[in-house]
Amino acid sequence: MEERKGFGSNFGFLMAAVGSAVGLGNIWGFPNKMGASGGFTFLIIYLILAVICGFIVMLGELALGRKTGKGAVAAYHAISKRFKWVGWLGVASAFLIMSFYCALGGYCIKYVVLNVGNLFGTGFGSNGMNGGDVFGAFLTNQSEGVIYGLIFVVLTMLIVMGGVSGGIEKFCGIGMPALFVMLLICIIRACTLPGAVNGLKYMFVPGWAVANGVIAEAPSIFEVISTAGGQMFFSLSIGMGAMITYGSYLDKKEHLEKNAVLIIVMDTLVALMAGLCVMPARFALDPEGPIGGPKLLFITMQNVFDSMDGAIGPIFGIIFYLLVVLAAVSSSISLLETVVAHFVDKAREEGKGDRRKKYSLIASILIALLCVLVCVDGLGSNGIAPWELLKLDGYKGWSDCWLDFFDMISEGVFMPLGGLLMTLMIGWEIGPEVVKNECEATEGHKMSSYPFFKVCCKYITPLCMLLILYGQLKSFFG
Ligand code: PFF
């Protein structure tokens, strides 16, 4: 049987795992949710949840992957009788998330090109239109949306075809440090703009958003917990097998606990840094613009760059959208790898060799089909939203567009459900000592967090996750 190749170094693994976690959710989700849900109060709740849920699920997934040496589907199959099928839930989540992630990643590439156009004054720039009109015109230009979406799918596929160390590790090893530097440059520019301080107040000061009319009323504590919990799951890429897959490529000599903590700390740090870039810029240069979601990225931020003098605007535009492309690609490759790993492993075990290229291509074609649907829909601009296509008038509210629909199923249901089932499996079926043994498989390492891990995994984490799942369903279904 051909050898299963993993990450070449712990740094490579860490960059790939952080790359998976750092994505679009950090940029348009976290800063706005933090501001609208109580500033520092939200941050504290987020951090508590990251410790009692995020750390537990992250460590559980990494351990499960490394112990079995298999991707999500085969790992659950190998270790559990009752939860055998949970890996497939992860693959389904990965497919659904990829559908809109690739569409949005394509939009980011389009905005890099747009800002290059603005820099050189060519016809493919904004042509004097404001951010809202440019984005509106792009969304209704279905063929352009599809082309950019497909470029992003192909980019993801090519990296995954390169393999774990030759493709994923290489890309993230360079891409993540580059992203960090670009983000720092953008933060310095944003925080030195006149009026930037309001963005900082919005993000950090409890009650500022309500007192200043940015949002109508403060959310209840239950809403804050479920918003923070949902954001945490999506942001850390947990509950769907991506970390099982990456963990399966990790060497026995690497510390699992240390890596789990580092991934969580770095992801939260980048989310806060992204906030320090987008919120000050928005409050300084486009205070009426959308404040979260895709519109923050493609309308508000483009208005911000358009309002800067001379070549500076397009140059910052190029840097900013390039960093978002990097964040999106490093996440989407982990999603595709979650799908592909299972089939590659199976082929290898059956002695058919490494069919990575073939399976990457097949999975990418299937993902491309869903991505085309999301692009043609153009965030609900083109009359084919799910409720319109499926004639479900009564459900108009929760399915404004295909992106929301796929997001609702994956982020709203499958991911928290996947996390819940995983902790139940570890806590009550196979036993938390399985994770302890795997952590201690690293020579000379003692799992110092074991007593905490055990109590959380059995009782606290599943209960919190039930709450998050309920809150997510409530927020999506109204
Ligand atoms: N963590 C990514 C983000 O914050 O945008 C989203 C994501 C990537 C979720 C990879 C799940 C995953 F496997």
What is the whole-number distance in angstroms between the Cα of residue 346 and the centre of ligand 1?
Answer: 25
What is the whole-number distance in angstroms between the Cα of residue 127 and the centre of ligand 1?
Answer: 34
440 in helix, strand or coil?
coil
Q: Is the CB of 97 under 6 A from ligand 1?
A: yes
One pLDDT digit (tens) per residue for the chain, 478 residues: 667 889 999 999 999 999 999 999 999 999 999 999 999 999 999 999 999 999 999 999 999 999 999 999 999 999 999 999 999 999 999 999 999 999 999 999 999 999 999 999 988 999 889 999 999 999 999 999 999 999 999 999 999 999 999 999 999 999 999 999 999 999 999 999 999 999 999 999 999 999 999 999 999 999 999 999 999 999 999 999 999 999 999 999 999 999 999 999 999 999 999 999 999 999 999 999 999 999 999 999 999 999 998 899 999 999 999 999 999 999 999 999 999 999 999 999 888 888 999 999 999 999 999 999 999 999 989 988 877 777 666 665 556 789 988 998 999 899 999 999 999 999 999 999 999 999 999 999 999 999 999 999 999 999 999 999 998 888 776 6
What is the whole-number distance in angstroms between the Cα of residue 149 and the centre of ligand 1?
Answer: 17
In testing the pocket of ligand 1, which one of 97, 160, 325 has its CB within 8 Å of the most ligand atoms?
Answer: 97
Q: Is the CB of 414 under 6 A from ligand 1?
A: no
What is the whole-number distance in angstroms between the Cα of residue 271 and the centre of ligand 1?
Answer: 13
Q: What angle do CA 247, 253, 258 make, to 5 degrees?
A: 65
Q: Is the CB of 290 under 6 A from ligand 1?
A: no
The answer as to whether 457 is a domain residue is yes
The answer as to whether 293 is a domain residue is yes
Count of domains forming the chain? 1
The answer as to whether 295 is a domain residue is yes
The answer as to whether 386 is a domain residue is yes
Q: Is the CB of 73 under 6 A from ligand 1?
A: no
Distance, CA of 6 to CA of 42 (rounded, Å):
37
Q: Is the CB of 325 under 6 A from ligand 1?
A: no
Q: Is the CB of 270 under 6 A from ligand 1?
A: no
The one-character DSSP state at 130 is -
Distance, CA of 179 to CA of 248 (rounded, Å):
26
CATH number of the domain within which 263 lies? 1.10.4160
Q: Is the CB of 21 under 6 A from ligand 1?
A: yes
The answer as to whether 4 is a domain residue is no
In testing the pocket of ligand 1, which one of 236, 335, 407 has its CB within 8 Å of the most ligand atoms?
Answer: 335
- Listing DSSP states for 340-377 in one string gives HHHHHHHHHHTT----HHHHHHHHHHHHHHHHHHHHHH
What is the whole-number distance in angstroms between the Cα of residue 234 and the centre of ligand 1?
Answer: 5
Radius of gyration for the alpha carbons in the chain, expressed in angstroms and rounded? 22
Q: Is the CB of 24 under 6 A from ligand 1?
A: yes
- Listing DSSP states for 42-54 in one string gives HHHHHHHHIIIII
| Residues 6 or more apart whose Cβ sits within 8 Å of residue 93 | 239, 240, 241, 410, 414, 415, 418
Distance, CA of 428 to CA of 445 (rounded, Å):
25
The answer as to whether 3 is a domain residue is no
The answer as to whether 162 is a domain residue is yes
In testing the pocket of ligand 1, which one of 99, 160, 331 has its CB within 8 Å of the most ligand atoms?
Answer: 331
User: Pick from 108, 187, 229, 132: which is nearest to 471 by CA?
Assistant: 229
Phi, psi of 80 (to 5 degrees): -135, 150
Q: Which is the closest atom of ligand 1 to the Cα of 243? A: 13
Q: Is the CB of 242 under 6 A from ligand 1?
A: yes
Q: Containing domain of residue 301, as a range?
A: 10-477
The answer as to whether 233 is a domain residue is yes
Question: Is this structure's pTM higher than 0.75?
Answer: yes
